[in-house]
Amino acid sequence: MFFQELLFTEKDCKRILKLINFNNKNSGNEKYSKKGLDVSFEEYKIEDNFENKWFLDTIKNFIYKNTKIKKVEFNIDASILKYGINDGFSKHIDLNISDENPRIYTVGLLLNTDFQGGNLIIYYKDDKILLNKKVGNCYLFESKIMHEVEKITKGIRYSLVIHIRRSEFQKVNLI
């Protein structure tokens, strides 16, 4: 299962990028690196609050539309990821089955396109799917699906990433 849709304008995405707060910065390498996994990016947490409701509600509606998740209020675990030159994230899945509250969906939003490299590649069944490189393109896939972000060769890539965990929903006939 993989969905993508243009949800936001370039102006909207620039507004979202202004939410980067250097006090909330994490190193992707320190947080996510494991043996055999090449990880390099910066992560900035985004608050699920009233000021951010204008774009988070749009993303929530995208999630409801493309999954069989019942509409309920939930908090979004969101971060802006910043990939600089030579940064990337090798093939991996976001699902952590040993976690008591595993991720079930990964949602992202491409916030800019003035970079080279940095393709998001989804490995779904026998297909290799590339994210459409359009500012404002939002995507959703099951967290058990293998994917990667190729290394950046020029510029900086920004994306908003959201992980939806099992406990955040009442599920109805999830596949």
Cβ contact 125:72 at 8 Å: no
Whole-angstrom distance, CA of residue 148 vs CA of residue 121 = 5
pLDDT in tens, 71-94: 666 778 899 999 999 999 999 999
Q: How many CB atoms lie within 10 A of CB 30?
A: 9
Q: Hey, where are the domains in the chain?
A: 2-127+134-158
Cβ contact 158:82 at 8 Å: yes
Give the containing element (helix H, strand E) for 145.
none
Sole residue written with tokens 């949602």: 107
The pTM of this model reads: 0.91
Sole residue written with tokens 């969906």: 105
What's the count of helices (H) and strands (E) in the chain, helices before strands?
A: 3, 14
Type of residue found at 157:
R
Sole residue written with tokens 């992560």: 43
Cβ contact 58:51 at 8 Å: no
Considering the four listed CATH numbers 2.60.120.620, 2.30.110.10, 1.10.10.370, 1.10.569.10, the one that applies to the domain covering 2-127+134-158 is 2.60.120.620
**Digitized pLDDT (tens) for each residue of the chain, 175 residues in all:** 889 999 999 999 999 999 998 888 888 777 777 777 788 999 999 988 899 999 999 999 999 899 877 766 677 889 999 999 999 999 999 987 777 888 889 999 999 999 999 999 999 888 999 999 999 999 999 999 999 999 999 999 999 999 988 777 655 444 4
